[in-house]
Structure 1
């Protein structure tokens, strides 16, 4: 209990306290208690806060959708034994070995508009160079692609573990009844696997919401010159370490924390509901 209090409750309580003050410049500097004024200012900020909320939602939703769909497809391919299975699994898991910052720097070089490999490969098929991370309209989509590339293997691991735990009897019964592969997946495999899918969505969704390393490694402070990839994490970091507005940044973090708790509660309730049906 003491360990949890020190590492979780105290920092959260201190952040909540700072969010109710006008603390800036230094956390040790004198500050005044201003109540919920920071919350009113942040919630009415349509220039930075709400666009950051929108980008956070887009980044999380799109990345999670592709990761679950691709993860399910790959897990189904790896479900049955085949020759060279171990080598394929090792290759698929390689993106998880590198740290997000290293991955971000690697893809930053690949997507460099001038010397990057991506534009060179497009040139081989007659397509002109693309701005990728440098473009105001393409940067967010490119960072989503990088996140999908690195974290889809994690979803594969979770779903593959769920698939291997399923009994073969329902599948065999469906085959005897003449069900096609798609019908077996839709009416047998997927319903039985749904609690595991929700666990994968819960773990990866919360992690995607908190993404910072890849975004900062590829676009730097502010999420780029036009804040094109500035999510709530990047926004709060900038308020704290670029502008030293600790009261305002703490407010953003508390609101972000409440958002994560809400998502966790919704997904956990859905998981319990699916387990009850099972």
Structure 2
């Protein structure tokens, strides 16, 4: 007579537990290399920068702990305060102008006409060029005697300008370069928004006799506002930390008329070799970018997004 042994679920689980634990997969071998890279490339440099900001450290001199002295020095540094003002002014213009011209270009290229695809490709070419090459070309164009910009002004009867050689016009001239390069990016983002807009609102507006401006003001603009916000957020984060174009064209000059926080940080750390004070500027600049990103994310949450095709 055969004996049937009953196995309770608890007993079965207990007998299988050792085998399951032995063969349980672990993901640490896959996560550990990425974690080491993040710690070595991102976390450690920032912790070391914060530590340096609490010290007076110049190249060739011993390190001396000074606490918050470097941070307390910032508000009393007129060159740093001036650099903050230049950064805000440069960033505001570098966001507003590409948004305006990029939206206008997107509306134009959204229409159907012969050669539209070719002209789109030509229009986005500035975005593909390297910043240093762009800076060298625009430096020649800004030349007061030999530059093509003053030649074009002479054709319409306007007097020549000093452009980047005048403290009053240097930042607007640099913004001109920034606008020329990054307006295509805004155009591409807004074009995606225009392609997602349904045609029914426009058909109804045409039946009601609405003009082109009225359709743009009350239909197009509200529906592409989420895309404009994304484009503005990308441009703001990119413009506030702009370095290559400004450094290659003016190096912060004339004098310090175009010196932004990035350029002043470079001068303090790598020209005057004041690594402690430069680290304090870097930490404050990083906190400024984090604060700016937090404000943008807050506005993104509070913004009333218009639903397009069922998506927010």
Normalised by the length of structure 2, the TM-score is: 0.82
Q: Does structure 1 residue 209 correspond to structure 2 residue 248?
A: no
Structure 2 unaligned runs (5+)? 1-33, 308-312
Following the alignment from structure 1 to structure 2, what is the Cα–Cα distance between the partners of residues 257 and 50?
16
Paired residue for 1:261?
290
Q: Does structure 1 residue 138 correspond to structure 2 residue 169?
A: yes
User: The residue matched to 2:118 in structure 1 has which SS?
Assistant: helix
Following the alignment from structure 2 to structure 1, what is the Cα–Cα distance between the partners of residues 290 and 202?
37
- Are the counterparts in 1 of residues 222 and 306 from structure 2 also a CA contact under 8 Å? no
Following the alignment from structure 1 to structure 2, what is the Cα–Cα distance between the partners of residues 158 and 210?
21
- 1:14 and 1:83, CA in 2 relative to 1: closer, same or farther beyond 3 A? same
- Are the counterparts in 1 of residues 166 and 254 from structure 2 also a CA contact under 8 Å? no
* 1:150-161 mapped onto 2 (5 Å cutoff): 150-161=181-192
Residue 6 of structure 1 is aligned with which of 40, 50, 62?
A: 40
Paired residue for 2:55?
21
- 1:157 and 1:7, CA in 2 relative to 1: closer, same or farther beyond 3 A? farther
Residue 222 of structure 2 is aligned with which of 191, 203, 222?
A: 191
Paired residue for 1:88?
119
Render the CA deviation track for 1:208-265: whole Å, top value 9, x for unaligned.
1011111011112xx1141010000110011111101111111111111111111111
What is the aligned-residue RMSD (CA, Å)?
1.8
* 1:1-278 mapped onto 2 (5 Å cutoff): 2=35, 3-25=37-59, 30-45=62-77, 47-220=78-251, 223-274=252-303, 276=305, 278=307
Following the alignment from structure 1 to structure 2, what is the Cα–Cα distance between the partners of residues 175 and 262?
44
Following the alignment from structure 1 to structure 2, what is the Cα–Cα distance between the partners of residues 159 and 247?
43
Deviation at 1:277, TM superposition (A): 5.6
Aligned length, in residue pairs = 273
- Are the counterparts in 2 of residues 198 and 270 from structure 1 also a CA contact under 8 Å? no
Following the alignment from structure 2 to structure 1, what is the Cα–Cα distance between the partners of residues 156 and 278?
46
Deviation at 1:123, TM superposition (A): 3.1
Q: More deviation in 182-191 or 109-118?
A: 182-191
Normalised by the length of structure 1, the TM-score is: 0.92
Following the alignment from structure 2 to structure 1, what is the Cα–Cα distance between the partners of residues 112 and 50?
52
Structure of greater Rg: 2
Structure 1 unaligned runs (5+)? none
